[in-house]
């Protein structure tokens, strides 16, 4: 009876139920669980240790990694309790969506290839090959669409896009940036480029009026990133796309002072969750660059469709 009471006590904790629901779907490492749940390693390890002691969770070592899974042969009443809890735990749906991303990361060989390619590009000289040239080529593929560049700064990207887009709206909360960008646009004769003073969480743009929203290294400056992504969804036309470039989650706290960063980047799971919660579909997320010098900032690129 003590064993049953102890197990029921363990199952009364929502976090441990979330763990059991996840581990019933897939064996996961502590790092992967940490990414899905957004919790510290020590907290997760403590919960896993308790579940393992109660024989509700088992582990196995594979090389340097330890993977945890739901223990086989658990008592039927406990299985029923765990299964029923899926409808009562608000985070369960998000956890399963994040688990899909973890699975995709494991199997995505194209991601590994792209990361290797990104790491080598530009290290050796090749006549005519440069990031500037590649950027210009890709930007030239932008058709006659309306683009919103949120957190545009002085709008270098906006001006490149304005060469090919139907219209570009550059939004920034710095009056000096907006003034500087507006003057630059006039000097270059960009009649289709408009700078507007505003916040990326409440951009001064009409609902369902743009085809593409860009958030380039802007989200980690937002007070509320979730609200910024929801705002992007609001101003997009049905079928419109969001393209988000930002820092992968890091621990370089000096960035708060040095670069006025409010957030220490975002994990792929965090971005996937925010995009899904806003209503985006066909989400694709990849780490596309890693700086060679300390603190080795990494860049994550995410897209989604309204």
Q: What stretches of 204-267 show up as alpha helix (H) in DSSP?
A: 225-235, 255-258
CB atoms within 10 A of CB 221: 18
User: Cα–Cα distance between 60 and 90 in angstroms, integer?
Assistant: 29
pLDDT at 65: 80
User: Cα–Cα distance between 150 and 246 in angstroms, integer?
Assistant: 13
User: Cα–Cα distance between 276 and 109 in angstroms, integer?
Assistant: 24
DSSP per-residue letters across 152-208:
-TT-HHHHHHHTTSSEEEEEES-HHHHHHHHHHHHHTT-TTEEEEE-BTTB-S--TT
pLDDT at 1: 39
- The model carries a pTM of 0.67
Task: Tell me the Ramachandran region of residue 122: left when phi exceeds 0, alpha when psi lies from -120 to 50, beta otherwise.
Answer: left
Residues ≥6 apart with Cβ < 8 Å to 29: 65, 66, 67, 68
User: Cα–Cα distance between 41 and 130 in angstroms, integer?
Assistant: 41
pLDDT at 149: 94
pLDDT at 118: 52
Fold for 2-92, please state it: Arc Repressor Mutant, subunit A (1.10.10)
**Mean pLDDT split into 10-residue runs, the chain, 306 residues:** 67 88 90 91 92 87 83 63 78 88 71 54 54 62 88 86 92 90 90 94 96 94 93 97 93 88 91 94 89 90 94
pLDDT at 291: 87
Q: Which CATH class is domain 109-141+199-305?
A: alpha beta
User: Cα–Cα distance between 77 and 86 in angstroms, integer?
Assistant: 15
For CA atoms 63, 65, 66, 70, the dihedral sign is: negative
pLDDT at 72: 60
Coil/strand/helix, residue 213: strand
User: Cα–Cα distance between 64 and 305 in angstroms, integer?
Assistant: 38
Residues ≥6 apart with Cβ < 8 Å to 53: none
pLDDT at 302: 93
* Domain residue ranges in the chain: 2-92, 109-141+199-305
User: Cα–Cα distance between 164 and 98 in angstroms, integer?
Assistant: 36
DSSP state of 123: T
């Amino acid at each position: 009876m003590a064993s049953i009471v102890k197990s029921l006590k363990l199952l009364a904790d929502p976090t441990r139920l979330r763990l059991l629901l996840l581990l019933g779907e897939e064996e996961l490492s502590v790092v992967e669980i940490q990414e899905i749940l957004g919790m510290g390693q020590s907290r997760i390890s403590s919960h896993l240790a308790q579940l393992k002691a109660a024989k509700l969770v088992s582990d196995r070592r594979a090389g340097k990694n330890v993977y945890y899974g739901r223990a086989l042969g658990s008592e039927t009443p406990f299985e029923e309790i765990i299964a029923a809890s899926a409808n009562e735990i608000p985070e369960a749906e998000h956890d399963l969506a994040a688990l899909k991303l973890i699975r995709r990361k494991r199997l995505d060989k194209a991601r590994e290839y792209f990361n290797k390619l990104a790491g080598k590009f530009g290290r050796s000289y090749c006549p005519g090959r440069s990031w500037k040239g590649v950027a210009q080529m890709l930007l030239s593929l932008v058709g006659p669409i309306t683009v919103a560049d949120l957190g545009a700064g002085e709008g270098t990207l906006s001006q490149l896009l304005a060469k090919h887009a139907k219209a570009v709206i550059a939004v920034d909360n710095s009056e000096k940036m907006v003034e500087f960008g507006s003057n630059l646009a006039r000097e270059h004769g960009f009649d289709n480029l408009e700078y507007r003073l505003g916040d990326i969480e409440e951009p001064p743009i009409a609902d369902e009026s743009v085809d593409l929203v860009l958030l380039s290294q802007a989200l980690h400056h937002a007070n509320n990133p979730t609200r910024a992504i929801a705002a992007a969804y609001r101003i997009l036309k049905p079928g419109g796309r969001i393209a988000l470039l930002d820092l992968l989650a890091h621990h370089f706290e000096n960035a708060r002072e040095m670069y006025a960063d409010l957030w220490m980047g975002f994990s792929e799971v965090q971005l996937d969750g925010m995009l899904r919660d806003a209503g985006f579909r066909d989400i694709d997320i990849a780490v596309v660059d890693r700086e060679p010098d300390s603190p080795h900032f990494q860049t994550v690129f995410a897209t989604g469709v309204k």
